[in-house]
Chains A and B, each alone.
Chain A
Amino acid sequence: EVQLAESGGGLVQSGGSLRLSCEAPGSSLSRNWIHWVRQPPGKGLMWVSRVRYDGTVTSYADSVRGRFTVSRDTAKNTVHLQMNNLRVDDTAVYYCARTDWFDLWGQGTLVIVSS
């Protein structure tokens, strides 16, 4: 059974950086678009970013454009979300999801940005 697994979350101060990773242990992400979605504690889902299977096409929500960068390492079958200049309102569980239908989600990784 294909699964997604996020990692890299943690506690960081405002203005700091974190790099999240999304892997599919035992399976390949090479032909799938991958999205990042976040969910602040107790709140709803918010789309963050999307990357094409070969990494050549990316897109971002307005609130993160210029601060976040999505990329993929095809050799390591991994998608990364580099988050710079983090703000308190970036605090959330970050999920990666497969395809434009978001048909498979990871368990999420919690990012806490303190002031």
Chain B
Amino acid sequence: QSALTQPPSASGSPGQSVTISCTGSSSDVGGYNFVSWYQQHPGKAPKLIIYEVNKRPSGVPNRFSGSKSGNTAYLLVSGLQAEDEADYYCNSHAGSNIWIFGGGTKLAVL
């Protein structure tokens, strides 16, 4: 049950777009459309922003979008805003009633 692989950090200027990757295997990310993404601000609980690869919960801005290709999932944050600065985590079902998180990516808005 190794963590999914995310880049430790990402950055962009306000208004720019940033993509965060989440790489797993055919046993998790590549095998299921059960990939989700979470935003976590310091000292706060995580918040769901994308589920089932590319679906947005009510209230999440459409600046956030998700996709998947093979064993890698992607989170695209468009039109970066200062409040987007946070940690982002991916998560995938991995079969046998097991779930796995990515190691997390710290997004800086420069």
Contacts and interface: CB of A to CB of B under 8 A. Distances in A.
Q: Do A and B bind each other?
A: yes
Contacts of B1: 61-63
A46 B45 CA distance: 13
Contacts of B38: 45, 102
B97 A45 contact: no
Contact of B45 (A57, A101, A106): A106
A102 B102 contact: no
Interface string A27-67: 00000000101000000111100100000010101110000
B10 to A, nearest CB: 15
Nearest to B8: A44
A100 B34 contact: yes
Nearest to A33: B97
B103 A44 contact: yes
A108 B45 contact: yes
Contacts of A104: 48
What is the interface residue range for chain B against chain A? 20 to 34
A107 interface: yes
Interface stretch (B19-27, B66-74, B77-85, B88-96): B88-96
Contacts of B52: 101
A57 B46 CA distance: 25
A51 to B, nearest CB: 10
B24 to A, nearest CB: 13
B36 A57 contact: no
23 contacts: A35-B99, A44-B87, A44-B101, A45-B40, A45-B46, A45-B91, A45-B101, A46-B3, A47-B99, A47-B100, A59-B96, A59-B97, A61-B1, A62-B1, A95-B45, A100-B93, A101-B36, A101-B51, A102-B91, A104-B48, A105-B45, A105-B46, A108-B45
